[in-house]
Structure 1
Amino acid sequence: MPETTPDPSARPAAPLIELDGASQVFHVKGKDLPAVSDVSLSVGAGEVLCLVGESGSGKTTTARLAAGLASPTSGAVRYEGRDLTEMTRAERREYRRAVQYIHQDPYASLNPIRSVRSTLSIPLRKHGLAKTTAEVDRRVDELLTTVDLTPPESYSGKFPHQMSGGQRQRVSVARGLTLSPRLLIADESTSMLDVSIRVSLLNMLTKLRKEEGVGFIYITHDLALAKYFAWEGRTAVMYLGKIVEVGPTQQVINNPQHPYTRALLDAVPEPDPELAAQKKAGGGLLSADIPSLSDLPTGCTFHPRCPLAQDRCREVVPTLQPVPGDVVQDVACMVVTDPGADGRPTAAAAGTTGGGGGGGGVP
């Protein structure tokens, strides 16, 4: 058979959303607060990227940059290869429809003077997805049923103050689904839900990803949720505005490399007493205090808390680098990627990882 010549014009599809060296600096009382520093990540159709880290690590600010709710101080944000700042009005409208955001706090994100029906119908009418009253009612009922607010007629006429926190959060998820988005950014979208509803909603989102090709950026500080929802995707660990480890979720959870990732996993409660006894108390951190963004440590910002810190960690800022060997993660830790001559152990060799037990339960 004759050999086929590759088409030089054929290029791999651009990711749905891409952050390229994006940074966000806030100016507060004469000081610069680097909420996000030089973050690069991408999410394609049908992919899921989970952002994990402590409160204040920059997860929500990163998500807001991806959603176009804030402009980066430096770097770029692209949708299907197109820089957001260079989009035409029509391209911007398409981007707004394709990328939807589920806010963390449903008490603040839902308009208190709009009913559930009004909240869900406005985007439907604005984008021409439902024109008649009957079409609006049918679509609203479908959305409420999707998020387990049934029977829908019992909820469509309610206002936010008439619902519980979990019900409000489900309305927020329904609003994010109104325009059939291609990328859904979920910021702690299940934190107020009961366990049974939480699992049902995550399964519904997984179905959207697998059957409709919807991409996800899922933000959480709960590693059990990251393991459950993003097991087939990737996880990025953030600390003080920077990504310190990124890779396939299975590897990040079961074989963490960065000492901060190991500390997060060691902090997950373990129901098995024998496994719990194997974990180091407190994850082995030197300090529980998180440095202030207004007065960041020199060099690696994690070194004041890191049990593996060396002298060079106080002077050199680490960058994401591949880990030597068979490990597939990229890690921002010189002790891991370049152990040096002092013979100190890497994160992987410093003890048993917490991944086998951490986050193993159903969220």
Structure 2
Amino acid sequence: MIELDGASQVFHVKGKDLPAVSDVSLSVGAGEVLCLVGESGSGKTTTARLAAGLAAPTSGSVRYQGRDLAEMTRAERRAYRRAVQYIHQDPYASLNPIRSVRSTLSIPLRRHGLARSGAEMQQKVDELLSTVDLSPPESYREKFPHQLSGGQRQRVSVARGLTLSPRLLIADESTSMLDVSIRVSLLNMLTKLRKEEGVGFIYITHDLALAKYFAWEGRTAVMYLGRIVEAGPTPQVINNPQHPYTKALLEAVPEPDPELSRQKKAGGGLLSADIPSLSALPSGCTFHPRCPLAEDRCREIIPVLRTAPGADAQEVACTVVTDPSGAPDGARSAAQADGGAP
């Protein structure tokens, strides 16, 4: 359904170029789920905004059903807008404070002609509220955002994303403010949509436990400073991580067993906890200042995604992992990349 092909996004801030996303390629089909994981500032949300058509890529392309978004007609764009919905990360900012819950959910239904009467409109609004566990609906539909808790606001945001029965749902940390019981219930509801209705998902999270739960039958892509550093089936990425950054993320997951927690390396074995600035990225592999496996060549070579040895379905952007002998692996050096976008 949706495909990013070498998509990059560069922001120009105070005379400097900030490469928020660099040469990202990914795709999601009907009924598939792709999890984007990584630290804050890794480019997950910017990548999702490109897929949702909320921003145009600086270079590369974004295609929906094989059609480039930049070349769509007005009618095609309208169909795309209905088929691809976005659940924003912050419900405090994404909900209009002067609109009630009923108004927020009814506007897209009215705009696309999905409800012909007031009674039908109210029925659909009540169904949406019940779907996201805001029951009884009559207790919530006339409320305004300031009268709701953070978790309730986020459930309204999820309900709004479901109003048009989308074919692709992009969820940006959509369960971060929910109680654990509600979170699991909502994820199970989204999984049901995926399996029964064929809805595709791009699910953004920094919580690998959530990625494991929701995308176990799908794929996971790990991002660092705007690049995908590892991608593959979720069970393999979680159980057999190849990139040292992925391993560090897994080491950072809280462990309920104190004995197992003591066995984990402090900081996931990273050399530094500081994330480099996008305005002054390190040369070569941008992860090398923090990487416990870094070698001299890592300061010069920009790694590209290659199949990991012994893990055919996984791709990893790490020259130490893909070429432990130090032989040329096809990656470009920083000097070679000066002439064009990586």
TM range (shorter): over 0.9
Q: Which residue of 256, 277, 288 corresponds with 2:273?
A: 288
Q: Does 1:334 align with 2:322?
A: no
Ranges in structure 1 where 5+ consecutive residues have no aligned partner: 1-15, 343-363
Shift of 1:278: 2.6
* SS state at 1:78 partner: strand
* SS state at 2:77 partner: helix
- CA-to-partner distance for each residue in 1:274-294, whole Å, 9 max, x for gaps? 322332121110000000000
Aligned equivalent of 1:251: 236
Q: Which residue of 106, 118, 136 corresponds with 2:121?
A: 136
Change in Cα spacing, 1:309 to 1:224, as seen in structure 2 (3 Å) is same
Name the aligned partner's letter for residue 59 of structure 1: K
Aligned equivalent of 2:191: 206
Aligned equivalent of 2:37: 52
Q: Does structure 1 conserve the Cα–Cα contact (< 8 Å) formed by 2:36 and 2:205?
A: yes
Q: Does structure 1 conserve the Cα–Cα contact (< 8 Å) formed by 2:171 and 2:201?
A: yes
Q: Which moved more, 1:269-278 or 1:99-108?
A: 269-278
Q: Does 1:177 align with 2:162?
A: yes
Shift of 1:327: 4.2
CA distance in 2, matches of 1:246, 1:336: 14
Aligned equivalent of 2:102: 117
* SS state at 1:339 partner: coil
Aligned equivalent of 2:64: 79
CA distance in 2, matches of 1:321, 1:36: 19
Aligned equivalent of 1:152: 137
Q: Does structure 1 conserve the Cα–Cα contact (< 8 Å) formed by 2:320 and 2:326?
A: no
Q: Aligned ranges for residues 261-272 of structure 1 at < 5 Å?
A: 261-272=246-257
Aligned equivalent of 2:149: 164
Change in Cα spacing, 1:148 to 1:286, as seen in structure 2 (3 Å) is same
Name the aligned partner's letter for residue 131 of structure 2: T
* SS state at 1:35 partner: strand
Ranges in structure 2 where 5+ consecutive residues have no aligned partner: 328-342
CA distance in 2, matches of 1:273, 1:189: 30
CA distance in 2, matches of 1:195, 1:324: 38
CA distance in 2, matches of 1:326, 1:231: 17
- CA-to-partner distance for each residue in 1:242-265, whole Å, 9 max, x for gaps? 000000000000000000000000
Aligned equivalent of 2:171: 186
Q: Does 1:308 align with 2:293?
A: yes
- CA-to-partner distance for each residue in 1:54-95, whole Å, 9 max, x for gaps? 000000000000000000000000000000011111110000
* SS state at 1:329 partner: strand
> TM-score scaled by structure 2?
0.95
Q: Does structure 1 conserve the Cα–Cα contact (< 8 Å) formed by 2:252 and 2:267?
A: yes
Name the aligned partner's letter for residue 128 of structure 2: L
Count of matched residue pairs: 327
* SS state at 1:328 partner: strand
CA distance in 1, matches of 2:77, 2:90: 26
Change in Cα spacing, 1:341 to 1:115, as seen in structure 2 (3 Å) is closer
Q: Which residue of 71, 78, 98 corresponds with 2:83?
A: 98
Name the aligned partner's letter for residue 297 of structure 2: R
Q: Which residue of 184, 203, 208 corresponds with 1:218?
A: 203
Q: Does 1:229 align with 2:207?
A: no
Shift of 1:120: 0.3
CA distance in 1, matches of 2:297, 2:265: 25
Aligned equivalent of 1:37: 22
CA distance in 2, matches of 1:54, 1:301: 14
Shift of 1:273: 2.2
Q: Does structure 1 conserve the Cα–Cα contact (< 8 Å) formed by 2:304 and 2:318?
A: yes
Q: Does 1:65 align with 2:50?
A: yes
- CA-to-partner distance for each residue in 1:160-214, whole Å, 9 max, x for gaps? 0000000000000000000000000000000000001000000000000000000
> TM-score scaled by structure 1?
0.89
* SS state at 2:8 partner: strand
